Amino acid sequence: MIEWDSWGVPDNYECEVIENDAPIPQHRPGPLPEKFYKPLKAVNSESKTEIPAASSSEPQVKEEVDSSVALYVLVKSQSPSHLLAHFLCSVWILIIIS
């Protein structure tokens, strides 16, 4: 019977352990710029704006948000298991809006 070699590592393989005694930085990062908090406040706000009908004669005002800021807020506010679903939903919404 052939023995299964799960990792494909030869028996005579030797690995070298490199120790790193560099000190771990203990500083705290500074505050984030204000542009990072604006989308977070919009996401957490209780008031929901109504989307006007397509036949409405009123002009629609769109607030531009930096996509990197929106992605940062999305990543920081959601668990990893929901990130893909939220990302795909966000892309779908951005396609509809633009």
Q: What's the whole-number mean pLDDT along residues 77-81?
A: 58
Residue 81: per-residue pLDDT = 57
pLDDT in tens, 3-21: 776 777 788 888 888 898 8
The pTM of the full predicted model, rounded to 2 decimals, is 0.21
Res 44 pLDDT > 80: no
pLDDT in tens, 22-34: 888 888 878 888 8
Q: What's the whole-number mean pLDDT along residues 50-74?
A: 54
Domain ranges in the chain are: 34-40+64-98
Phi, psi for 34 (deg, rounded to 5): -60, -30
Q: Nearest Cα to 66, choosing from 35, 34, 97?
A: 35
